[in-house]
Amino acid sequence: MTDKLFIFDTTLRDGEQSPGASMTKDEKIRIARALEKLRVDVIEAGFPAASPGDFEAVHAVANVINDCSVCGLSRALDHDIDQAAAALKGAVSPRIHTFIATSPIHMEMKLRMQPDSVVEQAVRAVKRARQYTDNVEFSAEDAGRSELDFLCRMIEAVIKAGATTINIPDTVGYKVPERFGNLIHNLITRVPNADKAIFSVHCHNDLGLAVANSLSAVLNGARQVECTINGLGERAGNAALEEIVMAIRTRGDVFTCQTTIDTTQIINCSRLVSNITGFPVQPNKAIVGANAFAHESGIHQDGVLKHRQTYEIMRAEDVGWTANRMVLGKHSGRNAFKAHLKRLNIEFTTEEELNAAFARFKELADKKHEIYDDDLQALVTDTLSSE
Ligand code: KIV
Ligand code: ZN
């Protein structure tokens, strides 16, 4: 594939920054394994300097994942970078991701630093990270509100220092698609050594524009998108992985690049993240919502029965849905649970496995009005993989 779009998943780092979404080491490992099956390119497993628990989690993920790069976040500080490198020890393909803010408001009010010193610190951080790995990503935090000339200067300097991926975050979700696309275009055309790095974007969803901004950036040359399963993330969240991937795949007439994601794993990942965090997916959420492929009105049903493409631009099966939707609720008993599993051809080898799955089903049923076939399937997979 010549024109690849890299998918950088940050569910385990920025996703975990959703208030109430923190995850244990074992939960992170389970999600990381699902992301590996989904074939994301990079898994950002956490922020090792943030806490001993996160250090351990990143280390554990780094040592069970073989087919993706595993990344640790660090501020542009020696100690953070050393911690990230130590946590990533053992990874098949480690990436250190270091960042510092570049917007006037962040530099003046948060960092209380002069722009020259910010560039110096960024360069030093990238050079230090390069002592550990040749896979170094630099993020210009709050790039969306940074001045173009300063951003160009910063990016040129960090590429020279060895950064191989340059990430342009819209940290506060301030940009609109046309302007964000222009920003990416201007950076790629103005930074003299831009061809030495992959340009990446990381969009937050404060105005509901994270996916639109990311796609606009892709149209303007970005070749890595940072995103999360179900759009989990700080405040209103990050760009949703499933929406980015399916937009690129469905609109091959618009986008020249492709991802290598196995889209049939999307629903499993979505369910797993939702179950672990306890954050439900809204029914009308694109791609992964329970109603995303449901047809309610008679006219639509009639059209779909005659030809699916009358009201479907994607196939439910391509993102991992099954055709059947069964309704189970919290009042369902063990026999009903067993009957539904039987209909789905799911059989446990031991009574303990069935009991564990039933207990998980009851927990989930307390959080959701209806339990669908796909919930059951994800729950069983989850039960069996954690036994
Ligand atoms: O939103 C942001 O700016 C970030 C960076 C650390 C990449 O999460
Ligand atoms: Zn972020």
pLDDT at 301 over 90: no
**pLDDT interval class at 242 (50, 70, 90):** very high
Q: 302 falls in which pLDDT band (50, 70, 90)?
A: low
Q: Give residue 184 CA to ligand 2 midpoint distance, Å.
A: 17
The first and second tokens of residue 56, run together, are 């351990």
Token duo for residue 76: 């542009």
141 CA to centre of ligand 2 in angstroms = 8
139 lines ligand 1 (CB under 6 A): yes
- Distance in Å, CA 235 to ligand 2 centroid: 9
Whether residue 169 has its Cβ less than 6 Å from ligand 1: yes
pLDDT at position 333, please? 66
The CA distances from residue 2 to 5, 74, 246, 275, in Å, are: 10, 31, 19, 37
Task: Answer yes or no: is the C-beta of 14 below 6 A from any ligand 1 atom.
Answer: yes
Binding residues for Mn(2+): 14, 202, 204, 238
Say yes or no to pLDDT of 316 above 60.
yes
The encoded tokens of residue 365 equal 């049923």
Report the pLDDT value the prediction gives residue 298, as an integer from 0 to 100. 39
Rounded to whole angstroms, the Cα distance separating 82 from 79 reads 5
Q: Which is nearest to 7 in space by CA: 277, 225, 182, 325?
A: 225
**What does the pLDDT look like over 64-100, one tens digit per residue?**
999 999 999 999 999 999 999 999 999 999 999 999 9
The answer to whether 161 and 193 have CB atoms below 8 angstroms apart is no
- pLDDT reported for residue 373: 80
Average pLDDT value for residue range 257-263: 98
How much of the chain is in helix, strand and coil states, percent to nearest 5? 50, 15, 35
The two three-digit tokens of residue 309, written as one number: 């493409």
What b/e readout covers 127-146, taking b as 16+ CB neighbours within 10 angstroms? bbbbebbebbbbbbbbbbbb
pLDDT tens, residue by residue, 213-234: 999 999 999 999 999 999 999 9
Exposed e or buried b for every residue in 174-184, given b needs 16+ CB within 10 A?
Answer: bbebeebbebb
Band of residue 241 on the pLDDT scale cut at 50, 70, 90: very high
Output the pLDDT for position 308.
83
Nearest atom (ligand 1) to Cα of 143 = 3
Percent of the chain past pLDDT 90, that is, above it, reads 76
Mean pLDDT of 174-194: 98
Backbone angles phi, psi at 61, to 5 degrees: -60, -45
Left if phi > 0, otherwise alpha if psi is -120 to 50, otherwise beta: which for 303? Answer: alpha
Please state the ipTM of this predicted complex: 0.99
Please determine, for residue 146, whether its predicted confidence score (pLDDT) is greater than 60: yes
